[in-house]
C-alpha cells in the first residue's frame, strides 16, 4: 500500500498543478472570471454524476484487478485526464492553422508534459493489479483525445476558438473533483500519509517546472 498511496499522491499533485496553473489559469485569461467559474463548476458536477453512476460492484471490472474500489478510482482519474487532453488538442490544432511552426512547437511541449501525466494514469491501474501492458494501454488511451481534438481544431478553427475557455475550465473542474474527492482521501487512508504527501509535492513540482519551462 505504500507504493499505491505514493502513486496516488503523485497523480494528485500532477493533476492539481495542471488544473490550477494550466487549465483554469488559461481559461481566466481567455474567457474571464464568469466563464472560468461556470466551467469549473460544470466540470466538477459532471465528474460527481459520473462517480455516482460508475458501478460500485464487481461487474465489468477486470479479473486481474485485485482492488475493485481502486479500479473505479483509476477510471475517474483516466476520465479527468482524457477530458483535460481535449482542450490541449484543440489549442494545438488552432495554433497550427494560424502558424504551423507555433503549432508544432506547442505539440512538442504538450507531448513532453504528457509523460508524467501518463505515469499518473498508469500508476493507479498498475497498483490495483493490472499488468504493465494493460496499465500502459490505459495511459495511452487517456491521450487519444488529444490528436483527435487537434485534427478537429485545425479543420474547424472558427467553431473551436470560442469554446476553448469553457472547455479548459471544464477539464480543470473535473480534475480538481477527482483530486479532492478520490485521490487525496484514499492516499491518506492506509497509514502512509507522509509518503502520499511527498508523492503529491513531487508530482506538483514536476508539472510546475514543466509548465514554466514550456
* Per-residue pLDDT reduced to its tens digit, 135-179: 888 888 888 888 888 888 778 767 777 888 888 888 888 889 888
59 within a domain of the structure (yes/no): no
Greater confidence, 113 or 204?
A: 204
Asked whether the whole model's pTM tops 0.85, one would answer no
Domain limits for position 209: 2-54+64-213
Distance between CA atoms of 214 and 204, rounded to whole angstroms? 15
* Any domain includes 190: yes
Using a 10 angstrom Cβ sphere, with 0-12 exposed, 13-18 middle and 19 or more buried, the burial of residue 146 is buried
CA pair distance 167, 38, nearest whole angstrom: 10
pLDDT attached to residue 99: 59
Mean predicted confidence (pLDDT) in 111-123: 73
The tens digit of pLDDT for each residue in 72-81 reads 778 888 888 8
CA distances from residue 41 to 44, 71, 127, 163, 201 in whole angstroms, order as listed: 5, 25, 30, 16, 25
Mean pLDDT of 95-108: 64
Q: How far apart are CA 106 and CA 89, in angstroms?
A: 10
Residue 12 lies in a domain: yes
Tally of domains within the chain? 1
CA torsion, ordered 154, 139, 142, 144, to nearest 10 deg: 30
Confidence bin at 61 (pLDDT 50/70/90): very low
Amino acid at each position: 500500500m505504500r507504493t499505491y498511496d505514493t502513486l496516488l499522491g503523485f497523480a494528485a499533485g500532477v493533476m492539481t498543478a495542471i488544473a490550477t496553473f494550466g487549465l483554469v489559469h488559461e481559461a481566466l485569461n481567455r474567457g474571464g472570471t464568469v466563464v472560468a467559474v461556470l466551467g469549473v463548476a460544470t466540470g466538477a458536477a459532471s465528474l460527481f454524476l459520473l462517480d455516482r453512476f460508475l458501478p460500485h460492484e464487481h461487474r465489468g471490472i477486470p479479473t486481474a484487478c485485485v482492488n475493485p474500489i481502486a479500479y473505479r478510482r483509476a477510471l475517474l482519474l483516466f476520465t479527468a485526464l482524457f477530458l483535460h487532453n481535449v482542450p490541449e488538442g484543440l489549442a494545438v490544432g488552432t495554433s497550427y492553422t494560424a502558424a504551423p511552426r507555433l503549432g508544432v512547437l506547442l505539440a512538442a511541449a504538450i507531448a513532453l508534459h504528457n509523460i508524467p501525466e501518463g505515469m499518473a494514469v498508469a500508476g493507479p491501474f498498475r497498483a490495483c493489479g493490472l499488468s504493465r501492458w494493460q496499465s500502459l494501454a490505459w495511459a495511452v488511451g487517456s491521450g487519444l483525445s488529444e490528436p483527435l481534438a487537434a485534427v478537429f481544431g485545425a479543420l474547424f478553427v472558427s467553431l473551436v476558438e470560442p469554446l476553448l475557455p469553457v472547455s479548459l475550465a471544464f477539464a480543470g473542474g473535473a480534475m480538481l473533483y477527482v483530486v479532492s474527492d478520490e485521490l487525496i482521501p484514499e492516499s491518506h487512508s492506509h497509514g502512509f500519509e507522509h509518503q502520499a504527501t511527498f508523492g503529491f509535492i513531487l508530482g506538483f513540482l514536476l508539472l510546475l517546472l514543466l509548465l514554466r519551462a514550456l
